[in-house]
Structure 1
């Protein structure tokens, strides 16, 4: 079951939410206990993704081995007769070595910390990779190339690999001590199941889990105030606010699978957060096939939700935004300059309009726009929607709003501030309303769209849901399209949306 499935099911059930059910949907601050407040306010270092670290080490070793081979071949190859065959051996042996390193489980953060274990496995795998061509040639009855350069490649390769892993080991140990490789984790559920899980995590030297505390909706004897020495910080509603106040990477449920109703209700609350959610299988009596589990160290868990756009996807999307955004900023600078002059000549006041909007994980960000209203009528909180022939809008403002030229300064947010993407759910002003109701009150699961960085354009906009959101239907459609984008993101999807955006601007009937 995906987040989108839950959101669509709930959206289809009712398009509005009773006030009593909105405590976790509105995004309004929930009071934390003094201890939870203290933990949330304690600064924590940024973390580095293990997947990116292992990927960089893998790439660095492949390039390093290949270059060492090129040097060995150029210095020690004695016969031109074998040159092209030997040149083909360079990428073949390098790729074979990386595959063998992978098979030897040499690409994991825990392994990076153990230099002696790495050195032995690296030397053995590298020896097999270099010796494999000779064995193959001999088995087929062919004469083998001269061994001089291969021997030099092997010996220099061993030295380079072990020296490189020594550096990686030192860096990883430093990052581990600084807490940059820890996954800040909250446990949901109390009692013996949570206690067993916490004890197992703390006893597992391979685990990267750093438990912040326990959260549970139960307040009776089944959920004591302290579990395995860790405090209970509040309910699941408190957990949502806690995750917005501090960095939280992972939530682990210790509830039994038989508690399906409670799990689904809690998942609905937590689905608005950009975090990984797992169900503990440590003491679960219901056994699945091994491939059904993932592992936190040696502890089995069942994957429920994954953080959208994580690890390499974050890097790729950030690079795409900065590079394409910078190109767009340069190409559109004449249009932006002309707009700035026109605004200045049309009415008094600043050229730019700054507005607070909701960004990633419900954080407030400041968004740049060209000013389209008279200075004395600007509405930073968007408490009143712009309508047809709105007298607050200037003459040039009507044009730049219809053509979305007023949004172009947001390229500065993308390129310089990094708090916007080129493509993503459009950021909304903090007091924006539909039918006199705040967006989060009008749409069930509204804040789930904040699990990724907002964008200048998005899937909802090119599908016709741009402009005024005066009805509940319009904001509902926006949110549903935003959730679809989040669940189906890819670079190609972003490119498709960017290419279709100019065409969507031709339909300006809902933009005033």
Structure 2
């Protein structure tokens, strides 16, 4: 069975296992960065001892730069113990390391000129080596963790309601590998308010705990005593400090119901994060640059098609070429969204009080085609360029749109949460088949689920993936009328 572990293992792994693993990873990375230089020497047929020493010095430099840059990219932090391949981070870190090495070589010319083909071979072999070593390390971790190694043996001290919540949390989170072996409580089992889970045996009282620690059977104690028992807690803390074991105080697990399981210090006081903006740090800048570059290129390439569609709309029926509609945007602000007009002008529905259905008499002949192919959405590239929309994001809905005669915001409790980012021309829901008419509550619920999944997992790579999958999704869709 494959064990899905995350960086939560970092908190429960044995410190010695972490130190040895990090040290071994650094040695392997150094070797992978430096080793291909031997192949370069062989292919160049370098015979002079001075030249060979220069190439070896260059390989040592590559290894040292690799360790420094990898460390700055947090390659040896918590994520090292997660189930992630870290391919993107490895690619960027190694590219930076190799680029620095080549730059230093160009500046100081401490060896003869190396052909570009051999430098590319060196770069590629090392990159492949980093990815392969990561996969081997993950497989090794999987095996050792399944065998019970690397994890600190932990006990819960005090079978309180909070301890029960922790045990339940660990039971339902297979990625939290805690190594819980039981609980310690001076009370007999029948005196507890609620029976502990069968997977958590009673190991005895405090005297038994001290014996277990001295015998090397316990590495970590998780204290779950009530905060109100201040005098008892202070006496217990003094007693536990005498033991050579890590002692952690369990926070109020009921807070986890509405917190994101992360904490931040505020004035030196740790506090739970209940909610935070979905795009943090430089992410909004990256996404805006993505929108500006790609929308500009799209408008440039698609300008003949835009003119052709505009002419077809104008010749097909009287009225303006563009249809402007108020829709909800970022932070639920109203924005004006542009579309090619697909309905007869005198039958237009400015607030989308009635959704468009199959064979809708309001739709023109050209309108039926451009709606089916989503060509009517192309003017929204100007919305993207102006900043009111993004290329990828939750689709903006008109103010009066309903599903099964219920307003969207009333149909789904989390509906408003999708407005935490700018709306998009396409999105995760659209490429998964939820495009066009939303005539049932289930359809809008699924749309919102996909929208929230996109917001929580946003990345440039996810955006590019959605954009690449949009055209096939549009061509295969049957729900757009």
TM-score (norm 1): 0.45
Q: Which has the larger radius of gyration?
A: 2
